Amino acid sequence: MPFDPLPKTLTDLLDAGASRPLVALDLGCGDGRLSALLRKPGVHCFGLDRLPRVAGSRADIVADARRAPVCAGSVDLVVAGNLVRHLLPAQRDAAFLDDWLALLRPGGSLFILEDEPTARPAAAANYRDLQAFLARLWPVGRGPLVTLDTFRRRLPARLAALVVESGTGANHWPQDAAAAVAMLERGRPAPGDEAHRLAAAITARGLSCGRQWWCRLRTPSPTD
C-alpha cells in the first residue's frame, strides 16, 4: 500500500525537483497511488509493473522489475514500495538491488519502502497475518512482510555500504477491511480454516498498515 506520510528525507528530495527537474521510476507501481504521491512539481515519475493497465495497474512500462527496460544511469530516483518483500523469497541476497542501482545517475537514490510486520494494534496484526496468508497461497509471486532488520541483514557488504539512511514511522494509509473480508469469504472457508479465522479477526478488529520502514541507498557521485 502507499505510504502516508512519506519519509521526510524522500519528500525533501522530491521538493528539490522544483528547482532541478528529476526523473523518478516507481517499481511495482500497482494502482499508481504511490506514483501520484511522488509526482511533485518538476518530478517526472514513470510507473513500472508486471501487470498491464487492463489488469488494473497504472504502469507506463509493463515489465519485470528485475529486468527493467530502462537505460542505465538515466534516473535520479528509484522507489520500490512493497515490492522487495515479494522478490526476497526467490533472491534472498537482494541482488535485484544491483540492477536498480545501475539505473541511477551518479548520486541518485534508491528508496525501499515496506509495511512493517507488527503485532499491535490488532488491526495491524491482522494486516501482517493477511499478507502471510496470501504469500503462502502464492509463494512464487508474493512474500510475507519483512522487518527493516531482516532486510538489512540480507544485504551483502557491497550493498550495505550504499545505505545512507533508514527509519520507521507510522503509516496512516487506510485499508479496505470489507474488501479483504469479501476476498477471504469468496473461497467459502470452513470454520477452523485460516481464511475463516482471518475474516473473523478482520471483521472484529479491523485492518490497518500499522507502521512502515524505509531504507535509502545512494550511488556515489563525482563530488563524494
Ligand X SMILES: C[S@@+](CC[C@H](N)C(=O)[O-])C[C@H]1O[C@@H](n2cnc3c(N)ncnc32)[C@H](O)[C@@H]1O
Shortest distance, position 137 Cβ to ligand X, whole Å: 14
Could you give the CA distance from residue 198 to residue 185 in angstroms, rounded to a whole number?
10
Cα–Cα dist 211/203, whole Å? 20
Which lies closer to ligand X via its Cβ, residue 17 or residue 28? 28
- Binder of ligand X out of 17, 38, 49, 130 (CB under 6 A): 49
| C-alpha distances in Å from residue 112, one per residue of 13, 78, 105 | 14, 9, 17
Asked if 86 interacts with ligand X (CB under 6 A), we say: yes
Q: Please give the grid coordinates belonging to residue 7.
A: 519519509
Q: Which stretch binds ligand X (CB under 6 A): 76-84, 101-109, 155-163, 206-214?
A: 76-84
* 88 is a site residue for ligand X (CB under 6 A): no
Residue 29 vs 201, nearer CB to ligand X: 29
Which range of residues in 14-22, 50-58, 150-158, 197-205 is near ligand X by CB under 6 A? 50-58
Give the interface segment with ligand X, choosing from 14-22, 58-66, 121-129, 159-167 (CB under 6 A): 58-66
The full 3-state SS of 94-115, as one line of letters, equals CCHHHHHHHCEEEEEEEEEEEE
58 versus 154: smaller Cβ distance to ligand X: 58
Told to check if 51 binds ligand X by CB under 6 A, we report yes
| Residue 192 CB, nearest approach to ligand X (Å) | 28
Query: Are 167 and 184 contacting, i.e. CB atoms less than 8 angstroms apart?
Result: no
- The cell 500497482 sits on which residue? 30
Q: Copy the grid coordinates of residue 214.
A: 524505509
d(CA 60, CA 51): 10
50 binds ligand X (CB under 6 A): yes
8 A C-beta contact, residue 59 and residue 48: yes
Interface residue list for ligand X (CB under 6 A): 1-2, 28-30, 33-34, 49-51, 57, 64-66, 81-83, 86
